[in-house]
Amino acid sequence: MDVTELIKKAAKAKEKAYVPYSGFYVGAALLCKDGTVFTGCNIENSAYGPTNCAERTAIFKAVSEGYREFQAIAIISDSEEVTSPCGVCRQVMAEFCGPEFEVTMVSCKGDYKTVTLEELLPYAFSMKK
């Protein structure tokens, strides 16, 4: 699957976001190594702590279905700048994805930038050896 298709799936997922507090819609599409795609959106909560980002929603959906090998993720929001994953999402990616995992960050205008997870989180904390 090419990056433009992954971006389209992330944009569709963004429409389902539950964001009554921030109004900041985010969608993500996670590509598994076997070609399966899981999508996610951000889901807010009035207590803020239980809020879940789109990236983690997609990853947790995949992991809960038994998937553990991931190739790429696309993340899109309503921002005019590309949307970078938060620190918590970067750490979750480090738990389940390799350093070569591709992260495509997309603006509402369609501009995007693709980097590796290692570029986003060069000194990731890990219990893995």
Residues 6+ apart with CB under 8 A from 40: 13, 27, 28, 30, 54, 55, 56, 57, 58, 59, 60, 61
46 is in an annotated binding site: yes
Consult the annotation and say whether 42 binds a ligand. yes
Closest to 40 in 3D by CA, of 68, 12, 21: 12
Residue 41 annotated as binding site: no
Residue 53 in marked binding region:
yes
97 is in an annotated binding site: no
* Catalytic option among 5, 55, 95, 102: 55
Residue with tokens 């904390």: 125
The answer to whether residue 55 is catalytic is: yes
Give the residue numbers annotated as catalytic, written as ranges: 55
Per the annotation, where are the binding residues for substrate? 42-48
Per the annotation, where are the binding residues? 42-48, 53, 86, 89
Per the annotation, where are the binding residues for Zn(2+)? 53, 86, 89
